[in-house]
Amino acid sequence: MKYYFRSITEELFQLHDKLRKQWPGLSRIAVAIYDNETDILHTFIKSSPDEELLNHYSVQLKDVPSLVELANSGECRIMQDLMVLQQNDSVHSKVISQHFKSSYTEPFYVAGDLLGFVFYDADECGYFTDELIDHLQTYSRLIESLIVSEILPIKTLVALMNVTQEITNLRDSETGKHLIRMAHYMELIAIELAEEYGFTDEQIEYIWCYAPLHDIGKIAISDSILLKPGRHTAEETKIMRTHVVEGLKMVDRMLQNFSFQQFHHIDILKDIIGSHHEWYDGSGYPNGLKGDEIPIVGRIAAVADVFDALISNRVYRAGWSFDEVVDYLKAGKGKQFDPKCVDALIRNEDKIKEINNNFQDIYNV
Protein backbone atom coordinates (compact mmCIF):
# COMPACT_ATOMS: atom_id res chain seq x y z
CA MET A 1 0.00 0.00 0.00
CA LYS A 2 1.27 3.48 -0.89
CA TYR A 3 0.02 6.71 0.65
CA TYR A 4 -1.21 9.37 -1.74
CA PHE A 5 -2.16 12.87 -0.64
CA ARG A 6 -1.60 16.48 -1.59
CA SER A 7 1.77 16.99 0.05
CA ILE A 8 3.81 19.99 1.11
CA THR A 9 6.46 18.73 -1.31
CA GLU A 10 4.09 19.33 -4.20
CA GLU A 11 3.37 22.83 -2.87
CA LEU A 12 7.12 23.47 -2.66
CA PHE A 13 7.66 22.42 -6.27
CA GLN A 14 5.02 24.93 -7.37
CA LEU A 15 6.67 27.72 -5.37
CA HIS A 16 10.06 26.78 -6.78
CA ASP A 17 8.74 26.87 -10.35
CA LYS A 18 7.44 30.40 -9.80
CA LEU A 19 10.76 31.56 -8.36
CA ARG A 20 12.82 30.04 -11.16
CA LYS A 21 10.93 32.02 -13.79
CA GLN A 22 12.61 35.15 -12.43
CA TRP A 23 15.73 33.58 -10.90
CA PRO A 24 16.60 30.50 -13.01
CA GLY A 25 19.86 29.96 -11.12
CA LEU A 26 17.95 29.09 -7.94
CA SER A 27 18.35 25.34 -8.27
CA ARG A 28 17.13 23.95 -4.94
CA ILE A 29 14.84 24.68 -2.01
CA ALA A 30 14.93 22.33 0.98
CA VAL A 31 13.51 22.20 4.49
CA ALA A 32 14.85 20.28 7.48
CA ILE A 33 12.73 19.71 10.60
CA TYR A 34 14.26 19.77 14.09
CA ASP A 35 13.24 17.48 16.97
CA ASN A 36 14.23 19.09 20.26
CA GLU A 37 13.87 15.93 22.32
CA THR A 38 16.47 14.02 20.31
CA ASP A 39 18.45 16.99 18.89
CA ILE A 40 17.99 15.47 15.43
CA LEU A 41 17.55 17.44 12.22
CA HIS A 42 15.63 15.49 9.53
CA THR A 43 15.34 16.23 5.84
CA PHE A 44 11.65 16.90 5.30
CA ILE A 45 10.87 18.37 1.89
CA LYS A 46 12.95 19.55 -1.05
CA SER A 47 12.59 20.76 -4.60
CA SER A 48 15.60 20.12 -6.83
CA PRO A 49 16.50 18.43 -10.11
CA ASP A 50 18.29 15.66 -8.21
CA GLU A 51 15.71 13.95 -6.02
CA GLU A 52 18.32 11.62 -4.51
CA LEU A 53 20.39 14.48 -3.12
CA LEU A 54 20.58 14.04 0.68
CA ASN A 55 17.53 11.81 0.55
CA HIS A 56 16.36 10.49 3.94
CA TYR A 57 19.21 12.28 5.70
CA SER A 58 19.41 13.14 9.39
CA VAL A 59 22.07 14.54 11.68
CA GLN A 60 22.29 15.73 15.27
CA LEU A 61 22.19 19.51 15.33
CA LYS A 62 25.06 19.68 17.81
CA ASP A 63 27.29 18.18 15.11
CA VAL A 64 26.64 21.16 12.81
CA PRO A 65 28.05 24.19 14.71
CA SER A 66 27.17 26.67 11.95
CA LEU A 67 23.48 25.74 12.18
CA VAL A 68 23.59 25.78 15.99
CA GLU A 69 24.85 29.37 15.71
CA LEU A 70 21.98 30.26 13.37
CA ALA A 71 19.43 28.59 15.64
CA ASN A 72 20.67 30.51 18.67
CA SER A 73 20.94 33.87 16.94
CA GLY A 74 17.81 33.66 14.78
CA GLU A 75 19.78 35.30 11.99
CA CYS A 76 19.95 34.26 8.34
CA ARG A 77 23.11 33.06 6.61
CA ILE A 78 24.39 33.95 3.15
CA MET A 79 27.24 31.90 1.64
CA GLN A 80 28.23 33.29 -1.75
CA ASP A 81 30.89 30.64 -2.40
CA LEU A 82 30.26 27.11 -1.10
CA MET A 83 33.79 25.97 -1.80
CA VAL A 84 34.53 26.81 1.85
CA LEU A 85 32.30 23.89 2.90
CA GLN A 86 34.60 21.35 1.31
CA GLN A 87 36.86 21.76 4.33
CA ASN A 88 34.09 20.50 6.63
CA ASP A 89 33.88 16.88 7.76
CA SER A 90 30.07 16.59 7.64
CA VAL A 91 28.49 14.57 4.85
CA HIS A 92 25.88 17.19 3.96
CA SER A 93 28.45 20.02 3.74
CA LYS A 94 30.54 18.09 1.24
CA VAL A 95 27.50 17.05 -0.81
CA ILE A 96 26.08 20.57 -0.95
CA SER A 97 29.42 22.10 -1.93
CA GLN A 98 29.81 19.56 -4.73
CA HIS A 99 26.40 20.31 -6.26
CA PHE A 100 25.85 24.04 -5.65
CA LYS A 101 27.83 27.28 -5.69
CA SER A 102 26.06 29.56 -3.19
CA SER A 103 23.33 29.33 -0.55
CA TYR A 104 20.96 31.23 1.71
CA THR A 105 19.58 29.73 4.96
CA GLU A 106 16.85 30.82 7.37
CA PRO A 107 15.93 29.20 10.73
CA PHE A 108 12.28 29.20 11.74
CA TYR A 109 10.52 28.77 15.06
CA VAL A 110 7.22 28.00 16.76
CA ALA A 111 6.53 29.71 20.11
CA GLY A 112 10.23 30.52 20.35
CA ASP A 113 11.37 26.93 19.82
CA LEU A 114 13.40 25.96 16.77
CA LEU A 115 11.30 23.99 14.27
CA GLY A 116 13.78 23.80 11.41
CA PHE A 117 15.62 25.53 8.58
CA VAL A 118 14.79 26.62 5.02
CA PHE A 119 17.71 26.24 2.58
CA TYR A 120 18.00 27.92 -0.83
CA ASP A 121 20.85 26.83 -3.12
CA ALA A 122 22.02 28.31 -6.40
CA ASP A 123 24.29 27.08 -9.18
CA GLU A 124 26.23 30.36 -9.43
CA CYS A 125 28.63 32.00 -6.96
CA GLY A 126 27.44 35.33 -5.55
CA TYR A 127 23.88 34.65 -6.70
CA PHE A 128 22.04 35.91 -3.62
CA THR A 129 21.58 39.62 -4.20
CA ASP A 130 19.71 41.91 -1.81
CA GLU A 131 16.76 41.92 -4.20
CA LEU A 132 16.59 38.12 -4.32
CA ILE A 133 16.94 37.77 -0.54
CA ASP A 134 14.09 40.25 0.03
CA HIS A 135 11.96 38.14 -2.28
CA LEU A 136 12.99 34.85 -0.66
CA GLN A 137 12.15 36.09 2.81
CA THR A 138 8.54 36.50 1.70
CA TYR A 139 8.54 32.98 0.27
CA SER A 140 10.11 31.66 3.47
CA ARG A 141 7.17 32.94 5.51
CA LEU A 142 4.82 31.09 3.16
CA ILE A 143 6.87 27.88 3.32
CA GLU A 144 7.07 28.08 7.10
CA SER A 145 3.31 28.62 7.33
CA LEU A 146 2.71 25.52 5.22
CA ILE A 147 4.99 23.46 7.44
CA VAL A 148 3.60 24.77 10.71
CA SER A 149 0.06 24.06 9.48
CA GLU A 150 1.10 20.41 9.00
CA ILE A 151 3.56 19.74 11.82
CA LEU A 152 2.05 21.74 14.68
CA PRO A 153 -1.31 19.87 14.68
CA ILE A 154 0.62 16.57 14.69
CA LYS A 155 2.70 17.70 17.66
CA THR A 156 -0.48 18.89 19.38
CA LEU A 157 -2.21 15.56 18.78
CA VAL A 158 0.78 13.62 20.09
CA ALA A 159 1.01 15.92 23.12
CA LEU A 160 -2.69 15.46 23.87
CA MET A 161 -2.28 11.70 23.71
CA ASN A 162 0.83 11.83 25.90
CA VAL A 163 -0.89 13.97 28.53
CA THR A 164 -3.83 11.58 28.56
CA GLN A 165 -1.38 8.72 28.97
CA GLU A 166 0.34 10.43 31.91
CA ILE A 167 -2.92 11.36 33.63
CA THR A 168 -4.14 7.77 33.46
CA ASN A 169 -0.78 6.58 34.80
CA LEU A 170 -0.08 4.22 31.90
CA ARG A 171 3.11 2.46 32.96
CA ASP A 172 3.93 -0.73 31.10
CA SER A 173 6.59 -0.90 28.39
CA GLU A 174 5.52 2.44 26.93
CA THR A 175 8.25 4.53 28.55
CA GLY A 176 9.26 7.74 26.84
CA LYS A 177 12.57 6.24 25.77
CA HIS A 178 10.85 3.17 24.30
CA LEU A 179 8.70 5.44 22.18
CA ILE A 180 11.72 7.43 20.97
CA ARG A 181 13.64 4.25 20.14
CA MET A 182 10.69 2.74 18.31
CA ALA A 183 10.30 5.91 16.22
CA HIS A 184 13.98 5.62 15.28
CA TYR A 185 13.66 1.95 14.35
CA MET A 186 10.57 2.61 12.26
CA GLU A 187 12.44 5.39 10.51
CA LEU A 188 15.38 3.07 9.73
CA ILE A 189 13.09 0.45 8.22
CA ALA A 190 11.06 3.01 6.25
CA ILE A 191 14.23 4.51 4.77
CA GLU A 192 15.44 1.07 3.71
CA LEU A 193 12.09 0.35 2.04
CA ALA A 194 11.56 3.87 0.69
CA GLU A 195 12.29 3.07 -2.94
CA GLU A 196 10.03 0.01 -3.04
CA TYR A 197 7.09 1.68 -1.28
CA GLY A 198 7.60 5.22 -2.53
CA PHE A 199 8.14 6.78 0.89
CA THR A 200 9.15 10.43 0.68
CA ASP A 201 11.03 12.24 3.43
CA GLU A 202 7.77 13.97 4.24
CA GLN A 203 5.98 10.65 4.75
CA ILE A 204 8.86 9.25 6.78
CA GLU A 205 8.61 12.31 9.04
CA TYR A 206 4.92 11.53 9.63
CA ILE A 207 5.81 7.90 10.43
CA TRP A 208 8.41 9.20 12.90
CA CYS A 209 5.89 11.57 14.51
CA TYR A 210 3.10 9.01 14.79
CA ALA A 211 5.14 6.01 15.97
CA PRO A 212 4.81 6.90 19.69
CA LEU A 213 1.03 6.54 19.48
CA HIS A 214 1.06 2.90 18.33
CA ASP A 215 -0.32 1.50 21.61
CA ILE A 216 -2.23 4.53 22.85
CA GLY A 217 -5.37 2.39 23.24
CA LYS A 218 -3.81 0.73 26.28
CA ILE A 219 -5.06 3.74 28.21
CA ALA A 220 -8.48 2.06 28.07
CA ILE A 221 -7.21 -1.17 29.66
CA SER A 222 -7.46 -1.51 33.44
CA ASP A 223 -4.23 -1.62 35.45
CA SER A 224 -5.13 -5.01 36.86
CA ILE A 225 -4.77 -6.45 33.35
CA LEU A 226 -2.27 -4.06 31.79
CA LEU A 227 0.24 -4.28 34.63
CA LYS A 228 -0.31 -7.91 35.57
CA PRO A 229 3.15 -9.48 35.98
CA GLY A 230 2.15 -13.03 35.06
CA ARG A 231 0.49 -14.63 32.07
CA HIS A 232 -2.97 -13.37 31.12
CA THR A 233 -5.99 -15.63 31.20
CA ALA A 234 -7.92 -16.19 27.97
CA GLU A 235 -10.47 -13.58 29.01
CA GLU A 236 -7.78 -11.07 30.00
CA THR A 237 -6.04 -11.59 26.68
CA LYS A 238 -9.30 -10.88 24.89
CA ILE A 239 -9.71 -7.64 26.84
CA MET A 240 -6.06 -6.70 26.32
CA ARG A 241 -6.42 -7.02 22.57
CA THR A 242 -9.23 -4.46 22.52
CA HIS A 243 -6.61 -1.75 22.98
CA VAL A 244 -6.19 -1.60 19.18
CA VAL A 245 -9.82 -0.73 18.52
CA GLU A 246 -9.86 1.57 21.55
CA GLY A 247 -6.83 3.39 20.17
CA LEU A 248 -8.55 3.99 16.84
CA LYS A 249 -11.62 5.29 18.67
CA MET A 250 -9.45 7.70 20.65
CA VAL A 251 -7.88 9.05 17.47
CA ASP A 252 -11.29 9.60 15.90
CA ARG A 253 -12.50 11.44 19.00
CA MET A 254 -9.38 13.62 19.06
CA LEU A 255 -9.74 14.41 15.37
CA GLN A 256 -13.36 15.41 15.84
CA ASN A 257 -13.09 17.30 19.11
CA PHE A 258 -9.99 19.28 18.17
CA SER A 259 -10.82 19.88 14.50
CA PHE A 260 -8.00 17.75 13.11
CA GLN A 261 -10.18 16.08 10.50
CA GLN A 262 -8.32 17.83 7.69
CA PHE A 263 -5.18 15.73 8.27
CA HIS A 264 -4.58 14.25 4.84
CA HIS A 265 -1.98 11.85 6.23
CA ILE A 266 -4.02 10.55 9.17
CA ASP A 267 -4.27 7.12 7.51
CA ILE A 268 -0.59 6.62 8.40
CA LEU A 269 -1.43 7.01 12.10
CA LYS A 270 -4.51 4.80 11.87
CA ASP A 271 -2.58 2.07 10.05
CA ILE A 272 0.18 2.11 12.68
CA ILE A 273 -2.32 1.81 15.52
CA GLY A 274 -4.71 -0.57 13.80
CA SER A 275 -2.36 -3.10 12.25
CA HIS A 276 0.90 -3.39 14.18
CA HIS A 277 -0.42 -6.49 16.00
CA GLU A 278 -1.37 -8.25 12.79
CA TRP A 279 0.85 -11.22 11.92
CA TYR A 280 2.24 -11.81 8.48
CA ASP A 281 0.75 -15.32 8.38
CA GLY A 282 -2.74 -14.03 9.24
CA SER A 283 -2.86 -15.19 12.86
CA GLY A 284 -2.64 -11.73 14.42
CA TYR A 285 -5.32 -9.29 15.56
CA PRO A 286 -7.69 -7.47 15.37
CA ASN A 287 -8.63 -8.40 11.79
CA GLY A 288 -6.50 -11.44 10.95
CA LEU A 289 -4.94 -9.68 7.96
CA LYS A 290 -2.28 -11.57 6.04
CA GLY A 291 0.84 -10.57 4.08
CA ASP A 292 0.40 -7.47 1.96
CA GLU A 293 -3.16 -7.05 3.28
CA ILE A 294 -1.46 -5.54 6.33
CA PRO A 295 -0.58 -1.87 5.69
CA ILE A 296 3.17 -1.46 5.27
CA VAL A 297 3.48 0.94 8.23
CA GLY A 298 1.80 -1.67 10.42
CA ARG A 299 4.32 -4.28 9.29
CA ILE A 300 7.15 -1.86 10.00
CA ALA A 301 5.76 -1.01 13.45
CA ALA A 302 5.39 -4.71 14.34
CA VAL A 303 9.10 -5.35 13.84
CA ALA A 304 10.23 -2.12 15.53
CA ASP A 305 7.97 -2.67 18.56
CA VAL A 306 8.95 -6.28 19.19
CA PHE A 307 12.63 -5.57 18.62
CA ASP A 308 12.69 -2.82 21.23
CA ALA A 309 10.54 -4.75 23.71
CA LEU A 310 12.97 -7.69 23.65
CA ILE A 311 16.29 -5.85 23.60
CA SER A 312 15.38 -3.38 26.35
CA ASN A 313 15.74 -3.83 30.09
CA ARG A 314 12.55 -3.97 32.12
CA VAL A 315 12.00 -3.71 35.87
CA TYR A 316 11.28 -7.44 35.91
CA ARG A 317 13.98 -8.73 33.51
CA ALA A 318 17.15 -7.88 31.63
CA GLY A 319 16.97 -7.21 27.92
CA TRP A 320 18.04 -9.84 25.43
CA SER A 321 21.31 -9.54 23.56
CA PHE A 322 21.28 -8.11 20.04
CA ASP A 323 22.01 -11.53 18.54
CA GLU A 324 19.21 -13.17 20.53
CA VAL A 325 16.68 -10.62 19.31
CA VAL A 326 17.89 -10.91 15.72
CA ASP A 327 17.52 -14.69 15.91
CA TYR A 328 13.97 -14.26 17.19
CA LEU A 329 13.06 -11.87 14.38
CA LYS A 330 14.60 -14.15 11.77
CA ALA A 331 12.66 -17.12 13.14
CA GLY A 332 9.47 -15.09 12.82
CA LYS A 333 10.02 -14.08 9.18
CA GLY A 334 6.96 -15.06 7.15
CA LYS A 335 5.09 -15.93 10.35
CA GLN A 336 4.82 -12.99 12.69
CA PHE A 337 6.86 -10.54 10.61
CA ASP A 338 7.24 -9.29 7.06
CA PRO A 339 10.65 -10.65 5.97
CA LYS A 340 11.51 -7.41 4.18
CA CYS A 341 10.94 -5.37 7.34
CA VAL A 342 13.08 -7.71 9.42
CA ASP A 343 15.92 -7.61 6.89
CA ALA A 344 15.65 -3.82 6.60
CA LEU A 345 16.11 -3.40 10.35
CA ILE A 346 18.95 -5.84 10.95
CA ARG A 347 20.95 -4.40 8.04
CA ASN A 348 21.41 -1.36 10.27
CA GLU A 349 23.16 -3.02 13.21
CA ASP A 350 25.49 -0.08 13.95
CA LYS A 351 22.67 2.47 13.88
CA ILE A 352 20.46 0.21 16.04
CA LYS A 353 23.14 -0.08 18.70
CA GLU A 354 23.72 3.67 18.62
CA ILE A 355 20.01 4.36 19.11
CA ASN A 356 19.79 1.81 21.92
CA ASN A 357 22.78 3.36 23.68
CA ASN A 358 21.61 6.95 23.25
CA PHE A 359 18.09 6.42 24.61
CA GLN A 360 18.41 4.07 27.53
CA ASP A 361 15.85 3.58 30.31
CA ILE A 362 17.37 3.21 33.76
CA TYR A 363 16.29 0.07 35.57
CA ASN A 364 17.84 -2.08 38.25
CA VAL A 365 17.48 -5.59 36.86
User: Which residues are known catalytic residues?
Assistant: 218
Cα(126)–Cα(72) distance, rounded to whole angstroms?
A: 26
